[in-house]
Amino acid sequence: MSADDNTRAFDEGIVTDFSSRMSYGSYLALDELLALQRPVSEPEHHDELLFIIQHQTSELWLKLLLHELRSARASLQADDIGTALKRIARVKHIQETLTQQWSVLATLTPTEYSEFRGFLANSSGFQSHQYRAVEFILGNKNERMLSVFDSDPAARAVLASLLAEPSLYDEFLRYLARLGFGVPDSVLSRDVTKAYVMHPELVPVFREIYESATENWRVYEACEELVDLEDNFQFWRFRHLRTVQRTIGMKSGTGGSSGAGFLERALSLTFFPELFAVRTEIGT
């Protein structure tokens, strides 16, 4: 760098001719990607671009989240707990990024949002099929949700498939059973199309794991990773709720939901209830 012009030196070996080579932009399809932010407000409102990018980037992270959760589930099916834990560790970092993103959207004031909210019509995050897919693969299943996607056959097919498949937790419990832990048959044979609910008879299995962690370190570690995953999901839900409350208060959602009230009720949902229930039993 020259002291006179404060310009970084240009390395001679840097490639500049991309007439027949793949470039950064072509690999990432940036022409297409950066053309997908299409504000609909008239006249175009300054803050609508923030709103679009927030939700588009969230959908990209949800795509990766689902990709990693599918791989973690397949790894458990193959008794590969190491790969499953690696995938879940990545999921946790993605969740943290998704949660932090709410702080950017929270800079949108109620007045600013109200100036273009009407242009959104009935579009709503409630209609994110990828978010529902993540909930489904984690065990919060609801067949009624499929009707929201009747006009989008591809999205509906993704959810219908996940509805019929075991969740990540189902596969973890089956893995424990194959290791010799006393997972009840009622749990192993449950209807996987239904939302997972608490099975009190499973709590002693986890108490055994937690109270003999040294002998069962890998599954003990997996239990704690799942607890982290659920905690992170709840943090995301909470930040979503608080961002909605500070932006639209208690107004109904654009898609017809009750808005903040609907999001608040979601905080009572759980993915891995026995992993939290066992904490009451340990040491008693």
| Binding-site residue ranges for heme | 240
Q: Which residues are annotated as a binding site for substrate?
A: 51-55, 113, 117, 254
Cis previous bond, 43, omega within 30:
yes
Binding site listing: 51-55, 113, 117, 240, 254
